Amino acid sequence: MIAQSILYFGPISGTCLDRANALRRLGHLVEHMDLRQLLPQNPWVDRITWRLGGNLLSPWLMGGLSSKLAGRKFDVCYVDGGEWVTPKVISLLRQHAKKVVNYNIDDPLGPRDGARFKAFRQSLPHYDLNAVVRQENVAEAQALGARNVIRVYRSADELSHAPRPLSAHDHQAWGCDVLFLGTWFPERGPFMLELIRRGVPLTIRGSNWHKAPEWSQLKSYWGGGAIGGDDYAKAIQCARVNLGLLSKENRDLHTTRSLEIPALASLMCAERTTEHTAMYAEGHEALFWKDAEECAAACSFALADDNRRIAIAHAGHQRVKKNGHYNEMIVASILASAGLPA
């Protein structure tokens, strides 16, 4: 392995930080920089990004980056996301990095996020490599002039999503029968109400659920807002069943939860899709469903027999390891596809 010097752009938190750390574990020299910190620290910056496009904010980035990168050289600039990275920003980056690649875990070419990824779409032809996580994004990116596009699966992290030893206190704090850990979207409120109506012992954790029209009926099932780190891992491990829902507007056929739940050796009960059924054997390594009725039945099936539930969770854990859907493999494949030794 040849160590690369990598300038990594993205939030210094969450799954983005996990991916940067995966590059470090592979032996690379990584400088992690959050472009949002180079923009004015005002909420209107985020509103402009989502409503009008992050390309309008590139003049602020150009000045800050020029100062930060003066006299510095890297083998590659790895852009994780890229909502503010315009062709002019990439031109600046090329003065400091031999190659500029992009990895985007969202659906930047789909309808959900409005103008947020306008800069990303403008910049597609200027990257040396674009890595996307949806098959349809490949043709869409190529239609916008992208030169080199690969599709990769999302990934769990070797450390952040490794099973933790659990104490009695952990089980008391985080234990529940059926957990949905995720953000509110409009289609999710009615789905959760239907599960409750069918007798599913549900716990909901995540942000923005107070916005749900069904909030008055869901409030007593809500266990708190978004969580991360050890709390996130322990909440998934301590739940007997973890629900995996997709974002319809984001055109998901799998999500990061699809890897993180089995990686944490917990049972995943998720929407049935072509990608999910390719990743895990239904009924043996995970449980799948098409609607609330089938989801409720799957939860009852899992909760009725702890030995069977634990066996399915264990098999799913072994399968995700066999599939190799972990950060180190994914980031290494991105570097290799860009012509850089991993």
The one-digit pLDDT tens for each residue of the chain (342 residues) are 688 999 999 999 999 999 999 999 999 999 999 999 999 988 898 999 999 998 999 888 998 999 999 999 999 999 999 999 999 999 999 999 999 999 999 999 988 777 999 999 999 999 999 999 999 999 999 999 998 999 999 999 999 999 999 999 999 999 999 999 999 999 999 999 999 999 999 999 999 999 999 999 999 999 999 999 999 999 999 999 999 999 877 889 999 999 999 999 999 999 999 999 999 999 999 999 999 999 999 999 999 999 999 999 999 999 999 999 999 999 999 999 999 875
CA angle 194, 195, 201 (to 5 degrees): 145
Residue 143 burial class via C-beta count within 10 angstroms: exposed 0-12, middle 13-18, buried 19 and up = exposed
Residue intervals in the chain for CATH 3.40.50.2000: 5-155+326-337, 168-323
What is the bridge-based pairing of β-strands 129-132 and 97-104? parallel
Q: Which CATH number fits domain 168-323: 1.10.10.10, 3.90.1640.30, 3.90.76.10, 3.40.50.2000?
A: 3.40.50.2000
What is the bridge-based pairing of β-strands 176-181 and 287-289? unpaired
- DSSP classification of residue 326: B
**Cβ–Cβ < 8 Å for 292, 198:** yes
What topology is assigned to 5-155+326-337 in CATH?
A: Rossmann fold (3.40.50)
Across the chain, where does the E strand assignment appear?
Answer: 5-9, 29-33, 74-80, 97-104, 129-132, 149-151, 176-181, 202-205, 222-224, 239-244, 268-271, 287-289
pLDDT, tens only, 271-324: 999 999 999 999 999 999 999 999 999 999 999 999 999 999 999 999 999 999
State the DSSP string of 178-227.
Answer: EEEES---TTHHHHHHHHHHTT--EEEE-SSGGGSTTHHHHGGGEEES--
**Cβ–Cβ < 8 Å for 121, 141:** no
Residue 6 is which amino acid?
A: I
What pLDDT shows up at residue 149? 97
Q: Calculate the CA 141 to chain-centre distance.
A: 20
Residue 26 is which amino acid?
A: L
Question: 């032996």: which residue's tokens?
Answer: 27
* Spatial separation of the C-alpha atoms in residues 224 and 322, rounded to whole Å: 34
